Amino acid sequence: MFNLGSLVLCLFVILSGLSFCTGNSVTYDSNAIIINGERRIIFSGSIHYPRSTDAMWPDLIKKAKDGGLDAIETYIFWDRHEPQRQKYDFSGNLDFIKFFQLIHDAGLYVLMRIGPYVCAEWNYGGFPVWLHNMPGIEFRTDNKVYKNEMQTFTTKIVNMCKQANLFATQGGPIIIAQIENEYGNVMTPYGDAGKTYINWCAQMAESLNIGVPWIMCQQSDAPQPMINTCNGFYCDNFTPNNPKSPKMFTENWVGWFKKWGEKDPHRTAEDVAFSVAKFFQFGGVLNNYYMYHGGTNFGRTSGGPFITTSYDYDAPIDEYGNLNQPKWGHLKQLHASIKLGEKILTSSTRSDRNISSSVTLTTFSNPTTGGRFCFLSNTDASNDANIDLEADGTYFVPAWSVTILDGCNKEVYNTAKVNSQTSVFVKEQDEKENAQLSWTWAREHMRDTLLGTGTFKANQLLEQKGFTVDVSDYLWYMTNVDIDQTSSPRDVTLQVNTKGHVLHAFVNRRHIGSEWANNGQSFVLEKPISLKSGTNTITLLSATVGLKNYDAFYDMVPTGIDGGPVYLIGSGNVTTNLSSNSWSYKVGLNGEMKQFYNPTTHSSKVKWRPFEHKSIGRRMAWFKTNFKTPSGVDPVVLDLQGMGKGQGWVNGQSIGRFWPSFIANNDNCSETCDYRGAYESSKCVGNCGNPSQRWYHIPRSFLSGDTNTLILFEEIGGNPKQISVQTITIQTICGHVNEGSTLELSCQGGRIISEIQFASYGNPEGKCGSYKHGLWNVVNTLLLVEKACIGKENCSIDVTGKSFEISDATSSFATLAVQALCSKK
């Protein structure tokens, strides 16, 4: 066991005359996390506080606890907390201290991953962009400038937690902290300086004396006493680099992120459960779901480039805070099943017996108590297995599944047998209040930039992020070209080589084209143009769509037209290189600087015009409307179908970037998804041929009690007349449960079960939305289910022959399928 940090902290506290050593001790060995002497296995889930609102936190935490979690994990987001050097922000949904306190109040623990590099598909990996501009700095290596800034921020976060008594040794919820993040994945290119840096990270972290263990994920050479941990879809084969360290799965990827132009990822509940069960079968101690609630990339926080505003991640709690069933329920049952064996799993010896090439029986035995707990896994991706364990019984183990045996002789769970409900949500528009939105519009004033007027100049093409410093997605590049009619061609091709991510080109105040690459990488814009005699103004507007967040030296990946080159290509390929011209620059849009998006400040600055048919398709324009707050508590979304690309605000608060005109490819989608076999992000995708993101979350805390102002900046042209405000409502719930289990049905949001659309106890076939009777069915099933469920918010039915008034042995092979409708009371 190791708890040197706790000992040092307590000695310091005693000498200081303080008294918080009455808190919890946190130690560990290879079999358990030990909290106040109690040997524990830990189920945790990632909920990133900036990806929701502080008003959502209590409900998200409650649902995490109800789902059987012991802890909640989050990164600490440096860029949000220190947007300018030594100027900090911990307000609103950045108040991580409040977030941790709410978690503590709920009786859960905290895994705090300071990083401060976070990756997380977050803009610039969580680094503030001003860091990039510090003289002599090199990120994530043995660099004094960087290490000083990293230590200053890390120390500030630790001290804030100490002052709020948040570490477990102070009686608080934080039981584990992380320094750095996935550095081992990219360490090799940094050479010896990378090794020196990771050793420094460990020493610096330990010097902070927090009294709880430190971890480093994906760091096989993590210095002691750092605990190295595993991230991925499967970590059952992972072994810590210290035999005394617990085996931790810090990121079990429950789904995947999405980029503009991509389809919806989906990882089945069966496969996530399979991954978790196998991890604990082979000695796992802590499993953290990444994500448990993905949430929303508000503002310009999405990284990438090209990460969507939605960060739903197919998590057990969806982007809007609804339970993603059956995943949430299936994992809840898994947690309860594994917890049955917690005392044995954390205080026993393990033995593995290979029954076949794909079937393994793992037995945990406590010689003192005689207790046993078993996992029976089948890793064959096609073939089911019938396993005879003699005195301990015979078991059917489906392909690619794990059966959990309490006492090694009673099946309590199988990862492929889903007994939790499926929930189907619909998006509804209030036809009375917000049936037809009334729009006005305003121009984005570009006269200055179209005439070549900027705020600074350079005789070169500059890299973008170093000058925008993340205050805007936009940087204007402007230059003049003089044409002598007697010697220069008028009809030429403008060629712009850019590092991304989006480029709009104007010549003599006329838009001549826009371009972007499907992956947000470098591309070339080529457009034919006609130049006039005399001075011609070329104006290029470069837009970023999330700064790169991952890879070795990712921070140095350029954006914008950086170096170009920019050419004019005439007949006979006569080329004029404009890269060394005198270029004028301007950061951002005029409307941004004047806060057109803020209804409380813009009223005297903006000339809003009545919306007309000719306003449709207008690029570089602002659109405004008012809408009523939808009644009830259901999540609110904005359907932006018909719009192009831009950003949106509700009552001055950003709901993120939008790009519904970016359509996912129409291939590789299927209505069926086979959970069997190893998962990767292109498996089981959906939403082919549709916008990558059509709906955008408006948290209810953004809304007023009555009327709200929606303002959109449209970059490439769209039709706001197609926009609608909608709510997300649970409509249909289904369950298909095996004999001996319990069917639990629940309508969220105060709704009740108003109709049983299908019910069959026997061998029903199909899936939610298409159930049908099989070869046999108990005729009174529908009446019995209606009696148990109609008019209730939730109901439960024991799936046994007795419940359906039969005693025939056939019932041992029966299942119950139910489909119900949820309605307002």
So which residues are the catalytic ones? 182, 251
Backbone angles phi, psi at 657, to 5 degrees: -75, 150
Task: Give the other-Cβ count within 10 Å of 612's Cβ.
Answer: 10
> Would you state the structure tokens that stand for residue 417, as one six-digit string?
């047998």
**Which amino acid makes up residue 451?**
L
DSSP state of 349: E
Positions of E strands within 595-748: 609-610, 621-628, 636-639, 646-650, 653-658, 695-698, 707-714, 724-738, 742-746
Task: Give the other-Cβ count within 10 Å of 419's Cβ.
Answer: 22
> Would you state the structure tokens that stand for residue 814, as one six-digit string?
């029966």
**Omega cis (within 30) before 501:** yes
Question: Which residues, 6 or more positions from 227, have their beta carbon under 8 angstroms from its beta carbon?
Answer: 28, 213, 214, 215, 216, 240, 242, 245, 246, 248
What is the crossing angle of helices 327-339 and 269-281, to 10°?
20
397-402: long-range contacts, CB 8 A cutoff, minimum separation 24: 397/359, 399/676, 400/270, 400/271, 400/274, 400/675, 400/676, 400/677, 401/270, 401/274, 401/377, 402/273, 402/274, 402/277, 402/278, 402/281, 402/375, 402/376, 402/377, 402/378
Three-class DSSP category at 182:
coil
CB 299 within 8 A of CB 53: no
Q: In what order do the strands lie in the sheet with 38-40?
A: 26-29, 32-35, 38-40
> Would you state the structure tokens that stand for residue 761, as one six-digit string?
């106890």
Q: Look up tokens 């159930």; give the residue.
A: 771
What distances in angstroms separate CA 141 from CA 132, 191, 650, one per listed residue?
Answer: 14, 9, 41
What is the C-alpha to C-alpha distance for residues 820 and 743, in angstroms, rounded to an integer? 12
DSSP sequence for 606-630: ---EE--GGGTT-SSEEEEEEEEPP
What is the C-alpha to C-alpha distance for residues 587 and 572, in angstroms, rounded to an integer? 37
CB 658 within 8 A of CB 640: yes
Q: Are strands 32-35 and 26-29 parallel, antiparallel or unpaired?
A: antiparallel
Three-class DSSP category at 241:
coil
Three-class DSSP category at 485:
coil
> Would you state the structure tokens that stand for residue 806, as one six-digit string?
């039969």
Q: Are strands 440-443 and 566-569 parallel, antiparallel or unpaired?
A: unpaired
Burial 793-823 (b: 16+ CB within 10 A, else e): bebebebbbebbebeeeebeebbbbbbbbbe
What is the C-alpha to C-alpha distance for residues 522 and 112, in angstroms, rounded to an integer? 36
Ramachandran area for residue 159 (φ above 0: left; ψ -120 to 50: alpha; else beta): alpha
What is the C-alpha to C-alpha distance for residues 680 and 683, in angstroms, rounded to an integer? 6
